[in-house]
Amino acid sequence: MLCILDEKAVSESKTVMTQTVFPNDVNNNGTLYGGRLLDWIDTLGAIVAKRHSRSAVVTVSIDSLNFLAPTRQRDIVTLEAWVNYVGRTSMEIEVRVSSENPITAETAKNCRAFLTYVAMDEYGNPKEVPPLKLTSEEERIRFEMAKERRSERLRHRDLGAVEW
Ligand SMILES: CC(C)(COP(=O)(O)OP(=O)(O)OC[C@H]1O[C@@H](n2cnc3c(N)ncnc32)[C@H](O)[C@@H]1OP(=O)(O)O)[C@@H](O)C(=O)NCCC(=O)NCCS
C-alpha cells in the first residue's frame, strides 16, 4: 500500500529534559553513574522519536558513547535531543548532555550520543515515518552526516552478524 506522509520539521519533536544528580545517581567516585545517564539519554531519544513518528518505537542502535567530563552530585543536567535523519522506518536522534553547578554556575559539556529508533505498528512490524523537513543549512549538514553514520552502522551490524 502506498502511503505518503507529510514532512515534519526538526523543531516539531525537539525536546529538552532537565535532571538533578541525587545521591542514588552517583558511583563510588561521587560522579554520575554512566548507566543512569544512558537511561536518561535513551528515554529522551525515544520521546523525540515518538513525537516525530507518533507511534511506538524501539531502540535498534546506540553509537559509542564518550563521557567527556564528569557530572557531580547536585549538578543540574540538561539533555537536548532532536532528529538528525529519517529513513523509511528508522530515525537517528542526537542527544547532547551538559551540566551546571547550581552554586557556582560553572558549566560543562558532558556527552554526545547518536541513537537509532524504528517506528513500530500495532503488530510489531517496522512502520513508515514522516520525511524530515530541513529548514536550515545546519539541519542539512546534520542530515548528510547522519546518512554516512547510518551506512557505517549497517555495515558494522552485518559484520557483527557474520562474526557471531
Ligand atoms: C528494530 C527491528 C524491528 C528491525 O528489524 P529488521 O528485521 O532489521 O527490520 P528492517 O530490516 O526492515 O529494518 C528496519 C529499519 O531499521 C534499520 N536498522 C536495522 N538494524 C539497524 C542497526 N543495527 N542500526 C541502524 N539501523 C538499523 C534499517 O536500516 C531500517 O531502516 P529504514 O527503514 O529507515 O531503511 C528489530 O531489529 C528488533 O526488534 N530489534 C530489537 C529492538 C529492541 O529490542 N530494542 C531494545 C528495547 S527498545
Q: Using one digit for the tens of pLDDT, what is the confidence trace for 122-162?
A: 999 999 999 999 999 999 999 999 999 999 999 988 887 76
Domains and CATH numbers, the chain: 9-163 (3.10.129.10)
What atom of ligand 1 comes closest to residue 58's alpha carbon? 48
What atom of ligand 1 comes closest to residue 153's alpha carbon? 24
What pLDDT score does 164 carry?
63
CA-atom Rg of the chain in angstroms? 17
Task: State the distance from the centre of ligand 1 to the C-alpha of 128, rounded, in angstroms.
Answer: 12
Query: What residue owns the CA closest to ligand 1's atom 7?
Result: 126
Integer Cα distance of 34 and 97 in angstroms: 12
Integer Cα distance of 155 and 45 in angstroms: 23
Query: What residue owns the CA closest to ligand 1's atom 18?
Result: 60
92, 104 contact by CB (below 8 A) = no
What pLDDT score does 66 carry?
86
What pLDDT score does 47 carry?
98
Task: State the distance from the centre of ligand 1 to the C-alpha of 90, rounded, in angstroms.
Answer: 7
Query: What residue owns the CA closest to ligand 1's atom 37?
Result: 60
What pLDDT score does 64 carry?
83
Residue with cell 529522551: 44
What atom of ligand 1 comes closest to residue 120's alpha carbon? 3
| Ligand 1 residue neighbourhood (C-beta within 6 Å) | 58-61, 87-90, 116, 118, 126, 153-154, 157
DSSP states along the chain = ----PPPEEGGGT-EEEEEE--GGGB-TTSBB-HHHHHHHHHHHHHHHHHHHHSSEEEEEEE---EE-S--BTT-EEEEEEEEEEE-SSEEEEEEEEEEE-TTT--EEEEEEEEEEEEEE-TTS-B---PPEE--SHHHHHHHHHHHHHHHHHHHHHHHHHHH-
The whole-model pTM stands at 0.95
Task: State the distance from the centre of ligand 1 to the C-alpha of 79, rounded, in angstroms.
Answer: 25
Task: State the distance from the centre of ligand 1 to the C-alpha of 68, rounded, in angstroms.
Answer: 28
Task: Assess whether pLDDT exceeds 90 at residue 11.
Answer: yes
50 burial via Cβ count (<10 Å: 0-12, 13-18, 19+): middle
Q: Using one digit for the tens of pLDDT, what is the confidence trace for 72-124?
A: 999 999 999 999 999 999 999 999 999 999 999 999 999 999 999 999 999 99
Q: Using one digit for the tens of pLDDT, what is the confidence trace for 22-52?
A: 999 999 999 999 999 999 999 999 999 999 9
What pLDDT score does 2 carry?
57
What pLDDT score does 144 carry?
98
